[in-house]
């Protein structure tokens, strides 16, 4: 069993040698992460999206708004961010995916999200940061609260997972609220 608390979490540009491992995790229709990251999206659609994404990454250089999550030298996930319209208003939406389940439940996601929030505040005009999840993703909700994010939107019972209805949740954090 890995002692996840003692392993360093680093956000870095992706490298060509990262792509084979990332491709296996991201395009595997049976990957465990799919049960937590938008599990209400049809599996075929997620697979097609991830296959296209892998093709895109093979031919484009790394972007400042996307990093891999490296834990002890192993790529275990991704973070990304997008500026919401209108450009320049200071609203940035964040995303995080830990695709390797061996790195769940030990604080890796929370530490990576903390680094990503700080990076976003350091390198963008962000005034407001947001991200969206679903009410069944309790690890993500816990990470959000631990970093000072607050629930700012709830659309009740719009996500169907395993035949049960869940809420869609959006969290936000203002620059002045950030506690590094």
- Give 106-138 pLDDT, tens digit per residue: 889 999 999 999 999 999 999 999 999 999 999
- Give 62-113 pLDDT, tens digit per residue: 999 999 999 989 999 999 999 999 999 999 999 999 999 999 988 899 999 9
Q: Residue 109 has which token pair?
A: 């996601």
What is residue 15's predicted lDDT score, i.e. its pLDDT?
95
What is residue 139's predicted lDDT score, i.e. its pLDDT?
92
Q: How far is CA 54 from CA 18, 19, 42, 74, in A?
A: 11, 8, 19, 18
Q: What is the pTM of this model?
A: 0.93
Q: What are phi and psi of 9, to 5 degrees?
A: -110, 125
Q: What is the rounded distance in angstroms from the CA atom of residue 107 to the CA atom of residue 163?
A: 30
Domains within the chain, CATH numbers bracketed: 9-177 (3.40.630.30)
Q: What percent of the chain has pLDDT over 90?
A: 88
Q: What is the rounded distance in angstroms from the CA atom of residue 15 to the CA atom of residue 49?
A: 21
């Amino acid at each position: 069993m890995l002692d996840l608390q003692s392993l360093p979490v680093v956000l870095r540009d992706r490298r060509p040698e990262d792509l084979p491992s990332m491709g296996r995790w991201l395009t595997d229709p049976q990957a465990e992460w799919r049960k937590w990251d938008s599990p209400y999206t049809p599996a075929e659609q997620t697979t097609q999206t991830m296959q296209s994404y892998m093709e895109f990454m093979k031919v484009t250089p790394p972007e400042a708004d996307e990093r891999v999550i490296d834990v002890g030298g192993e790529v275990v996930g991704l973070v990304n961010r997008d500026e919401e319209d209108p450009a320049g208003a200071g609203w940035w939406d964040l995303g995080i995916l830990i695709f390797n389940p061996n790195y769940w439940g030990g604080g890796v996601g929370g530490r990576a999200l903390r680094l990503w929030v700080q990076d976003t505040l350091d390198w963008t005009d962000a005034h407001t940061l947001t991200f969206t999840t679903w009410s069944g993703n309790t690890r993500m909700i816990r990470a959000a609260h631990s970093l000072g994010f607050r629930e700012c939107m709830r659309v009740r019972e719009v996500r169907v997972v395993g035949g049960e209805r869940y809420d869609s949740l959006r969290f936000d954090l203002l620059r002045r609220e950030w506690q590094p």
